[in-house]
Structure 1
Amino acid sequence: MGSLIREARPEDRPFIEEIARLTWGGDDYLARVFEEWLSDGGFYVLEMDGKVIGTAKMTLLPGKVGWLEGLRVHPDYRGRGYGRKLHDFMLELGERLAREGRIEALEFATYVLLRESVTMGQKTGFQIKAKFFVFRAKTENFEPEEPQRIEPKLEDLTLGLIPIGWRFVRRSVEALGWIKKNAELYNINGFHFLAPKEGATFTPLDVGLATLKAILPAMACVAKEMGKKTFDVMLPSGVKPLLPGIKRLGLFLWDETDGPNVLVFRRPFPKGPSS
């Protein structure tokens, strides 16, 4: 049986919806972003005998970063090396884009307990560049308080590496423009948080306990408007000493890990000789 990696096409939707339905208990976002990713480009599928059994996506982010995401393999085909085949294909694509001067590095983020993703990254030259905690909260546990949507400014971006959902961008003027297109900035009583336009993983721009207590009802309000029963909060690894207090606020870890549970990997490309 032969396999082929090619660009995704509109007629691939049923296959991708099936993969999404069978991933993360049916909570995978892949089907929801299908049209957006088709339009954006860099969206590839692994086809075998006329059936799409895997996917991978490269999104160009500010700072000449090729962001790897959406690596999926249909459950019936896992454990046969197809994930690595897609990963290697994306590395080759990244090398070509680097030669063209379009990117300077590849990056991706993964949950710490997804051992295959962690190992595959480490074996192919990626290094961990940042760590975060992702917490979950139940919308019903908060009395929703409506926040104000505001236009983000560079001074609002108080984090050096800014999570927008499960993508991470470095603070810059270019990143500010990208954030305006891909996220909303909310204000509640002077405290700010970012919400991606797709998904309910929110980023507070201040991570103190008092700030979190003030903005969680606003996050619950935004999540409720999205029809979500839960929402996630992404926080930098430096909040580890605050974990007991964070949990008392109603946030909980997906799994009880010893440290940060989100890893951000980076693989830079060698720069060519200067002209």
Structure 2
Amino acid sequence: MNPIIREAKPEDRPFIEEIAKLTWDGEDYLAGVFDGWLGDNFYVMELDGKVIGTAKLTLLPGKVGWLEGLRVHPDYRGRGYGRLLHSFMLQLGKKLAQKGRIEALEFATYFLNRESISLAERTGFSVKAKFFVFSARTEDFEPEEPEKVEPSMSDLTLGLIPVGWRFVRRSGEALEWIKRNAEVYDINGFRFLVSKKGTTFTPLDVGLATLKAMLPAMAWVSRERGREEFDVMLPSGVKPLLLGLRRLGLYLWDETEEPNVLVFRKRLL
């Protein structure tokens, strides 16, 4: 029987939870965002009455269709189902572009996700930006409570701003989107942002001294959200600071001297 791709429904939750438990050692965020994604370009692949895959398109500022949540149940990988989901999302993107809602598709992936990278390159995507994602343990810092602040354009110091694993280009529209989807904190004059439910932080001032000041505040926010570990997303320009960043208590998931997060883009118009 051929699989079908359809919009996700509330009764799909048990299948989604199963896929999440079997992805990233059970650390997948999919189950946590399920309710919020329903009815918003969130699709599942069904085979013989069982949901075996997922895919999501999120509208971002700048007429970008952000691709995320592409998953295939481990028991069904290697059979081309990921390619089918990817192809379906490309067609959805083209339809939205024809309606004037988006102009390009983008997504981010880890540098060792060779299948996603190969699929992207074969379908006309190219790398537009690179970042480092580091991890840290809250126990390595003395948590310090920061002040939550209202962001302004002057806070958006990067041209491409990570908000968790989504990336938005600096603009007035992006600022308003960030206000709705993220929180900005200040600690001793240094600011950072984090998505409202996540623990992947973006420093808005990048340097060893400023990061040293911000890390205890990031640890505080992480503990408030029930997490003992957190991530920090930094632009590729920090490469010369890798040794110093490690000394601050940050570590990479896999040892590398190159950026480990790739942001892909495919223009549709």
Report the TM-score, using the length of structure 2 for normalisation: 0.99
Query: Cα RMSD between the aligned structures?
Result: 0.6
Deviation, structure 1 residue 229? 1.0
Deviation, structure 1 residue 258? 2.8
1:225-244 paired onto structure 2 within 5 Å: 225-244=224-243
The one-letter code of the counterpart of 1:148 is: E
Deviation, structure 1 residue 2? 1.9
Equivalent residue number for residue 148 of structure 1: 147
Partner-residue secondary structure (3-state), 2:158 = coil
Are positions 1:4 and 2:4 aligned together? yes
1:71-220 paired onto structure 2 within 5 Å: 71-220=70-219
Equivalent residue number for residue 23 of structure 1: 23
The one-letter code of the counterpart of 2:20 is: A
* Alpha-carbon separation, structure 2, partners of 1:151 and 1:199: 18
Partner-residue secondary structure (3-state), 2:88 = helix
Partner-residue secondary structure (3-state), 2:38 = helix
Deviations 1:46-96, CA, capped at 9 Å, x for gaps: 000110000000000000000000000000000000001000000000011
Equivalent residue number for residue 32 of structure 1: 32
Equivalent residue number for residue 14 of structure 1: 14
* Alpha-carbon separation, structure 1, partners of 2:21 and 2:36: 18
* Alpha-carbon separation, structure 1, partners of 2:162 and 2:63: 17
Deviates more, 1:161-170 or 1:197-206: 197-206
Q: Percent identity?
A: 74
Equivalent residue number for residue 273 of structure 1: none
Equivalent residue number for residue 54 of structure 2: 55
Partner-residue secondary structure (3-state), 2:30 = coil
* Alpha-carbon separation, structure 2, partners of 1:84 and 1:256: 29
* Alpha-carbon separation, structure 2, partners of 1:225 and 1:38: 27
Extract structure 1 runs of 4+ deviating beyond 4 A. Answer: none
Partner-residue secondary structure (3-state), 1:101 = coil
Contact 2:201 2:218 in 1 (8 A): yes
Partner-residue secondary structure (3-state), 1:159 = coil
* Alpha-carbon separation, structure 1, partners of 2:50 and 2:179: 37
* Alpha-carbon separation, structure 2, partners of 1:232 and 1:207: 15
Equivalent residue number for residue 221 of structure 1: 220
Deviation, structure 1 residue 28? 0.2
Note the residue ranges of structure 2 that are not aligned, 5 or more in a row.
Answer: none
The one-letter code of the counterpart of 1:98 is: A
Deviation, structure 1 residue 198? 2.1
Report the TM-score, using the length of structure 1 for normalisation: 0.97
* Alpha-carbon separation, structure 1, partners of 2:258 and 2:206: 17
* Alpha-carbon separation, structure 2, partners of 1:21 and 1:202: 24
* Alpha-carbon separation, structure 1, partners of 2:210 and 2:154: 18
Partner-residue secondary structure (3-state), 2:31 = coil
